Amino acid sequence: MTSALLTDRYELTMLDAGLRDGTALRRSVFEVFTRRLPAGRRYGIVAGTGRFLEQLSRFRFGDDELAWLAEADVVGSETLDWLADYRFTGDIQGYREGEVFFPNSPLLVVESSFAEAVLLETLALSVFNYDSAVASAAARMVSAADGRPLAEMGSRRTGEWSAVAAARAAFIAGFGATSNMEAGRLWGVPTMGTAAHAFTLLHDSEEDAFRSQVDALGPGTTLLIDTYDIPKAVETAVRVAGPELGSVRIDSGDLPQLVAEVRAQLDSLGATGTRITVTNDLDEFTIAALRAAPVDSYGVGTSVVTGSGHPAASMVFKLVAHHDADGRWVSVGKKSAEKATVGGRKFPVRARRGGIASAEIVRVGSQEVGASERTLLVPLVTGGEIDPRWLGPEGVLAARSHREAAVGELPPAAFSLGRGEAIIPTRYEVV
């Protein structure tokens, strides 16, 4: 399916007017950044890069799209001809997927004709705003879980294709698995899940249901124990599966107390190796509150796929420089009060002290990288060619690993769940 109509109409009308007066062919630089983190957050995690690049490779106006644009009278016939040949031929640099970001970090830098770049605004922002919102929330859950594994189970709480993106973003942020099958197939995210309450209810008894599941999936499976009475279910589970029962799952109730009781009962039945997983409307705060409880793993739904209160990452896509009529670069920025933009092409680095991040430095007009600094932009697309390192399941694994390294550079206070400002300042250095 083409991604070419996942755009706002104004991108096409700007293109149309700009092709008529020639300005659309001016070489231009657009940047993606956010002006602020969600209230209280210390850092964000970039996600969506690999998805954006795959959508970019499908950004083509075929006969159907052109016929519809003509019928809807959106643009003139010369613009339709131009769209028929559309291929992005410019350069895109960006933060690596999985990188940490802060207010005004230039996450994506798109350089091409205005015409080629302006069409990508909505697609780029849809992908980065959603995926980064999920990854940023997920990273907080990962640090709250303090080493215990997390699974993403929120597909049902977001649009059906956003669900696939959310599973991928949460995995990049450090979750270990997802319930979402398409994320397994497309992006190589490990999948998990065994049974819902419906499976127990379908059977004539809980014991029948457990036996059926153990027959099909083996004693290492996870049995759901809160359909009826939890202590009875634990007894039945261990009787049916034996003490080698893999896990039990609790999806309701007062978790800290329940988990302790279930642990004690499992141990008393000899099922000392049986793990406990909990899945009841968790977020980073309730995960942290379970640190003292004998929980072995968490399943997180709504809160991770909706960005834990912040379902969009507030990123914008702004023109920062363009050629004038004589081919000289002009820096530009919107002047209206609360949305002012710093013009000019940016070269961001992360300054570090003793290996710990100390500042986000955004240089304008200089590509200098100091000895203790780390450069943040990598080439994603060069002359229209997408770098294959960032694509597919391999790109996801690379992003997950980069996230671990980048988060590892943050000062410990970054992981506080209390409200605070960005953990390091963003400073402009304009040469």
Give the contacts of 160 (CB within 8 A, at least 6 positions apart).
Answer: none
Q: Closest Cα to residue 175, out of 187, 160, 158?
A: 187
Task: Give the Cβ contact number of residue 327 at 10 Å.
Answer: 8
| DSSP 8-state class, residue 191 | B
308 touches its own copies by CB under 8 A: no
Handedness of CA 386, 392, 398, 404 (dihedral sign): positive
- Alpha carbon distance 304, 314 (integer Å): 17
> Which residue, chain included where needed, has tokens 């009278």?
73
Q: How many residues bind its own copies, per CB under 8 A?
A: 104
- Alpha carbon distance 5, 71 (integer Å): 14
- Alpha carbon distance 212, 194 (integer Å): 12
CB of 289 to its own copies, least distance (A): 17
Q: Which one among 57, 302, 358, 426 touches its own copies, defined by CB under 8 A?
A: 302
Amino acid (one-letter) located at 1: M
CB of 75 to its own copies, least distance (A): 9
Give the footprint of its own copies on residues 313-352 (CB under 8 A): 317-319, 322, 324-325, 332-339
235 touches its own copies by CB under 8 A: no
CB of 117 to its own copies, least distance (A): 9
21 touches its own copies by CB under 8 A: yes
CB of 78 to its own copies, least distance (A): 11
Encoded tokens for 396: 């996801």
Handedness of CA 298, 299, 305, 311 (dihedral sign): negative
Give the footprint of its own copies on residues 259-288 (CB under 8 A): none
CB of 128 to its own copies, least distance (A): 9
- x/- map, 193-222, its own copies, by CB under 8 A: xxxxxxx-xxxx---x---xx-xxx-----
Stretch that binds its own copies, among 250-258, 263-271, 289-297, 381-389 (CB under 8 A): 250-258
Identify which of residues 289 and 369 has a Cβ nearer to its own copies in the complex.
289
CB of 210 to its own copies, least distance (A): 10
Give the footprint of its own copies on residues 353-392 (CB under 8 A): none
Identify which of residues 3 and 143 has a Cβ nearer to its own copies in the complex.
3
CB of 387 to its own copies, least distance (A): 21
172 touches its own copies by CB under 8 A: no
165 touches its own copies by CB under 8 A: yes
Identify which of residues 167 and 361 has a Cβ nearer to its own copies in the complex.
167
Are the beta carbons of 206 and 229 closer than 8 angstroms? no
Helix, strand or coil, per DSSP, at residue 290: coil
Length of the chain: 431
153 touches its own copies by CB under 8 A: yes
> Residue 417: exposed, middle, or buried by beta-carbon count in 10 A (0-12, 13-18, 19+)?
middle
